[in-house]
Amino acid sequence: MKREVLLCIFLFFQVLFCHAQDYSKGQVRVEKLLAKALQGNRGGENPVRSITVYLPPGYNEGNKRYPVIYYLHGFAWNDSLLIAQDHLDQLLDKAIAAGKIRETVVVMPDHHTLYRGSYFTNSSLTGNWADFTAREVVTFIDKNYRTIPDKNSRGLAGHSMGGYGALKLVMQYPDVFGAVYAMSPAKLDWGKEYTIDNSAFKMISTAKTREEILENMAATAYIAMGRVYSPNPQKPPFYCDLPVSYEGDRKVVNYDVLAKWEKQSPTRMVSSHVKELKGLNALKLDWGRNDPFPHIPVTSLQFSQELEAYGISHYAEEYIGDHVNKLWTPDGRAYNDMLPFFETYLKFE
């Protein structure tokens, strides 16, 4: 009798568990796009880019059109890892089933480069990454999928480098995206460890090969930024100018290059893009209090304060977490905050 009772309890929880997991699945497609904006680049970057597309449950049934969230990955990441390691497709399935967001298409373009990140910025050396994202990818998706081809039905989101790119692109392409959500946006401006005093600049001054640079995350990021912010095709081996160089142990600041870098700071761009930012349906950024990249909490707050100073409506939130631990978990930001944000501020059919 006892064994039968235990068996019944076991079967009950098995049924309950299976029912909890019983929801429709979306599908993932991987496209390859020969990007005109990247063709002929002198930096050796591959112009054939991968674009991972999540299609919601029911996409293959009927003629319904869907809004699109364009999601930009972080530094040293790529679109395939968003599926293979972050399991973004599974999170979307769960969120749709739970009513966090209605059916939507999510598009993840690949911005991994020779130095691990494009910074979503047009470059005379590595190609026009901003145009690729906001023009070519959007045009390709609207042409090949049943989207709602309107800015009010397009959201832009990203994490870390991708959060930086999301905030920057909505200022530069106000006709394309209607709402933006940036998670832990990096490099919004100088601050904390992200300064001209960072020891990575000295390390770069003696490096001769790409392999040496890739051993140091900060050095890799600075070279990646240099190749888009201040490219110099006459300056091997990295073909860029940097705001800091070294003569022995003496630091030399190149203020002309520094000005070029600061021109690319989203925080410093706000003052000249007030109209574009006020034209958004909604803007939100958030960041973890315990981020191991200490410039992120500081500069995220500064960015919010800059928006506030210009009367730009937005949401900004600090939460207890680090750079990644509260992103893709059931209690994380993507599931509980980012997707419901787009449910509210995207236009559905």
| pLDDT tens profile 141-165 | 999 999 999 999 999 999 999 999 9
> What pLDDT, in 10s, does the model give residues 60-89?
998 999 999 999 999 999 999 999 999 999
**Can you tell me the distance from the alpha carbon of 84 to that of 86, in angstroms, rounded to the nearest whole number?**
6
Is the pLDDT at 17 greater than 60, yes or no? no
Is the pLDDT at 236 greater than 80, yes or no? yes
The predicted pLDDT at position 164 comes to 98
> The pTM is what?
0.93
Mean pLDDT (whole number) for 3-29: 56
User: What is 168-229 written as a DSSP string?
Assistant: HHHHH-TTT-SEEEEES---SS-BTTBSTT-THHHHHHH--SHHHHHT-HHHHHHHHHHHHH
Mean pLDDT (whole number) for 122-126: 98
The predicted pLDDT at position 62 comes to 87
Two tokens at 59?
A: 């996409």
Amino acid at 340: P
Q: Which long-range contacts (CB under 8 A, 24 or more apart) does 5-9 make?
A: none
Q: Name the pLDDT band for 22 (thresholds 50, 70, 90).
A: low
Is the pLDDT at 21 greater than 60, yes or no? no
Q: Name the pLDDT band for 16 (thresholds 50, 70, 90).
A: very low
The predicted pLDDT at position 251 comes to 96
Mean pLDDT (whole number) for 93-103: 98
DSSP bridge pairs for 46: none
Is the pLDDT at 11 greater than 90, yes or no? no
Is the pLDDT at 38 greater than 50, yes or no? yes
Share of the chain above pLDDT 90, in %: 92
Amino acid at 100: K
> What pLDDT, in 10s, does the model give residues 180-227?
999 999 999 999 999 999 999 999 999 999 999 999 999 999 999 999
> What pLDDT, in 10s, does the model give residues 306-340?
999 999 999 999 999 999 999 999 999 999 999 99
The predicted pLDDT at position 168 comes to 98
Beta carbons of 295 and 301 less than 8 angstroms apart: no
Mean pLDDT (whole number) for 51-56: 98
Q: Any alpha helices (H) in the chain, and if so which ranges?
A: 2-20, 79-84, 88-98, 129-131, 138-144, 161-172, 200-206, 210-214, 217-229, 255-263, 266-269, 274-278, 295-309, 333, 339-345
Pick left, alpha or beta for residue 86 (phi over 0 → left; psi -120 to 50 → alpha; otherwise beta).
alpha
More confident residue, 175 or 13: 175
Which domains does the chain show, CATH number per domain?
27-189+265-345 (3.40.50.1820), 200-260 (no CATH)
Mean pLDDT (whole number) for 5-24: 46
Mean pLDDT in the chain? 94
Q: Name the pLDDT band for 6 (thresholds 50, 70, 90).
A: very low
